[in-house]
Amino acid sequence: MELNKQEIHQMGMNHVGKHLEENGFEFLAVKSEIGNSPQFVCLKNEKELFFVLVRTVSFPEDPQNYNEAWMAKMKKHAIEKKACLLYAGVGLADSINIKSKPIKGQESLVNYKGLVEIDLSIKK
């Protein structure tokens, strides 16, 4: 049975959460429901505030592509709160058939290139 959208999103959240933890980020808030952004609100070095946006997709979607209007809204929010904005795109596929969505109880292939810092300048 294929994973549903929330389960796919949760797998991506878990992957990014581990990466954040390993890199010294301290979690202030975690929003794991689809549609809530930013998904992670973190501190680093006890002073820098970070908003981390997680987008998890299944093959053939490219995890590095995101909705520009959504990103513009998140940029404004980060500027208002004096936060750095990071994007984490995660792609998942079934480990046996890469062209299939992940299957419950089976290993998945993960396409994750790390955190991408988003330029907060607003294009006019």
CATH of the domain at 83: 3.40.1350.10
pLDDT tens digits along 38-86:
999 999 988 899 999 999 999 889 999 999 999 999 999 999 999 999 9
Q: Is 10 within a domain?
A: yes
Q: Is 122 within a domain?
A: no
Q: Is 123 within a domain?
A: no
- To the nearest 10°, the Cα dihedral for 75, 79, 82, 86? 10
- Tell me which residue range forms the domain holding 12: 5-117
Provide the number of structural domains found in the chain: 1
pLDDT tens digits along 26-47:
999 999 888 888 999 999 988 8
Q: Is 25 within a domain?
A: yes
Contact present, 46 and 26 (Cβ < 8 Å) = yes
Q: Is 56 within a domain?
A: yes
Q: Is 111 within a domain?
A: yes
- Residue 112's DSSP bridge partners are 90
d(CA 102, CA 58): 7
